[in-house]
Amino acid sequence: MSKSFGDMPKEEFKKYGHALIDWIADYLDNIETYPVLPDTKPGDIKSTLPQTAPQLSEDLKNIFSDVDKIILPGVTHWQHPNFMAYFNSSASGPGIFGEILSAAFNTNGMVWKSNPASAELEETVLNWFKKMIGLPEEFFGVVYDTASVSTLHGIAAAREYSGLNIRAKGMNGIPKLILYCTEHAHSSIEKAVITLGIGMENIHRIPVDENFSMIPAKLEKAISEDRAKGYVPFCVVATIGTTSSTAIDPVDEIADICEREKIWFHLDAAYAGVTAILPEMKKYFKGFERADSFVVNPHKWLFVPIDFSILYTRKPDVLKKAFSLVPEYLKTAEDNTAINYMDYGIQLGRRFRALKFWFVLRYFGVEGLQERLRGHLQLAQQFSEWIDKHEMFERLAPVYFGTICFRAKPNGITDENKLNELNEKLLNTVNSTGKVFLVHTKLNGKFTIRLVVSGLRTEEKHVMLAWEIIRGELAKLCK
């Protein structure tokens, strides 16, 4: 007979719960005292942890103290204002509250009945956000964990839309399905194509112009050539804000082609999509309402704790047709009157993610979010001007959003290999200061440093500090 039942005592939960909130508040307040990148080697953290789980109950005090001793020194501080790598993701206070509450409710929103509040709040906040970014009423949204998974569902819907009835028959004996995108499309497109059995060689890469944007005439040509070979063009993926350089594909012209050719049009705006809440940024989203599916990640640049990605589609019936499968035990009386989100994807169980988005939208308000994004966009323009004006640097891509692609190009060095080596060294020395974290990409074979301004806590002084460190480290390397 077991001697222990139940959860931790309420008094203990309260005591440590209050202390935890204090800890988090202090952590965020002192975030700049930590190195952005931890000074650890692979295995360092593992080696300080026991090899087996504790046999007996441990004191919470010890668990929390190990957070300070073992975990914290191994954390990369994404909340640091000088975290300017990848596409930053920063969590706001209201977002953290929403996350905590969703863990406390711990519901599984498979069907409406399994948590009506989750289903209806998800529908509501996704409708709010749809209006904020200017997508028409007909779009239907679903929350997934990441853009990779949103895109997988978008491309699965495209496959369903091909009319080849792959859901029932599988892929045997059908003609080649072809997907089109540029070489700058995110690797999640390839992952989706692998997963869906399309095959990597059936991604046809459409050439880009000098700004890394898809050339529509080349897309048209590729489609007609493929049709002539008996292949089935089934999906075009365009991007607003590519991962390397934040390039923008000509969405309106691509939509024309997709409409004419009756091909599913998937639009990836995982990073940049949130800027559509700004009227002045609408110019970059012209025609985006013509996409069949559209991905945006509020966890990237809208201060919602990771994970939170949205797939909007104006053909939800196709997405549902691709995935809906209702076992007997999940049939409910409300099936025809309420949304059962399990019908729109591969996962059955789902977290109550809408809460954190609801908290963030209400706490900041549309205007509060707009002001913050505007601030980031201005800082990025400022950094971009510094690069343009400095004779030892050059900018390698247009700056549409909050990302600047650049490299050092000191006078006299023209050899591309030497420049690549120099910039790689520069990036490493800048990152090893612990004061700022940047990553690189390659554009036209050039080693390119990327600086991203999208952190909730990033201000002008942080961008200035990054610039100072970059120039200082370059001066040392060129001595």
For residue 142, list its beta bridge partners: 311
Report if residue 271 touches ligand PLP, rule: CB under 6 A. yes
If the CB atoms of residues 310 and 318 are measured against ligand PLP, the closer one turns out to be: 310
Report if residue 90 touches ligand PLP, rule: CB under 6 A. no
**Least spacing, CB of residue 335 vs ligand PLP, in Å:** 30
Q: Which residue has the tokens 């050539």?
A: 225
Q: How many degrees, rounded to 5, is the angle at CA 215 between CA 212 and CA 218?
A: 135
If the CB atoms of residues 351 and 435 are measured against ligand PLP, the closer one turns out to be: 351
Q: What radius of gyration, in Å, describes the C-alpha atoms of the chain?
A: 24
Q: Which residues contact 51 (CB under 8 A, 6 or more apart)?
A: none
Pick from 304, 283, 214: nearest CA to 254: 214
Residues in binding contact with ligand PLP, number by CB under 6 A? 15
282: exposed, middle or buried (Cβ count in 10 Å: 0-12, 13-18, 19+): middle
Residue 225: count of CB within 10 angstroms of its CB: 13
Report if residue 284 touches ligand PLP, rule: CB under 6 A. no
**Least spacing, CB of residue 80 vs ligand PLP, in Å:** 19
Site for ligand PLP in 310-329 (CB under 6 A): none
Which positions from 232 to 251 touch ligand PLP by CB under 6 A, shown as an x/- string? -------x-xxx--------
If the CB atoms of residues 126 and 419 are measured against ligand PLP, the closer one turns out to be: 126
Q: Which range touches ligand PLP (CB under 6 A), out of 135-143, 267-275, 334-342, 364-372?
A: 267-275
Would you call 234 helix, strand, or coil by DSSP? Answer: strand
**Least spacing, CB of residue 302 vs ligand PLP, in Å:** 13
Q: Which of 102, 188, 245, 370 binds ligand PLP (CB under 6 A)?
A: 188
Report if residue 297 touches ligand PLP, rule: CB under 6 A. yes
If the CB atoms of residues 189 and 408 are measured against ligand PLP, the closer one turns out to be: 189
**Least spacing, CB of residue 306 vs ligand PLP, in Å:** 8
If the CB atoms of residues 191 and 321 are measured against ligand PLP, the closer one turns out to be: 191
If the CB atoms of residues 146 and 431 are measured against ligand PLP, the closer one turns out to be: 146
**Least spacing, CB of residue 454 vs ligand PLP, in Å:** 11
Q: How many degrees, rounded to 5, is the angle at CA 306 between CA 304 and CA 312?
A: 75
**Least spacing, CB of residue 309 vs ligand PLP, in Å:** 5
Cα–Cα distances in angstroms (integers) from residue 424 to residues 20, 137, 450, 466, in the given order: 40, 47, 12, 16
Q: Which of 123, 268, 292, 343 binds ligand PLP (CB under 6 A)?
A: 268
**Least spacing, CB of residue 235 vs ligand PLP, in Å:** 15
If the CB atoms of residues 65 and 195 are measured against ligand PLP, the closer one turns out to be: 195
Pick from 157, 210, 201, 435: nearest CA to 318: 157
Q: Which of 133, 147, 318, 453 binds ligand PLP (CB under 6 A)?
A: 147
**Least spacing, CB of residue 403 vs ligand PLP, in Å:** 10
> Is the Cβ–Cβ distance between 375 and 149 less than 8 Å?
no
* Structure-block tokens of residue 395: 């900018």
Pick from 224, 235, 220, 295: nearest CA to 265: 235
**Least spacing, CB of residue 202 vs ligand PLP, in Å:** 20
- Can you give 13-67 as a three-state secondary structure string? HHHHHHHHHHHHHHHHHCHHHCCCCCCCCCCHHHHCCCCCCCCCCCCHHHHHHHH
Instruction: Please report, as ranges, the residues that interact with ligand PLP according to CB under 6 A.
Output: 87, 146-148, 186, 188, 239, 241-243, 268, 270-271, 297, 309
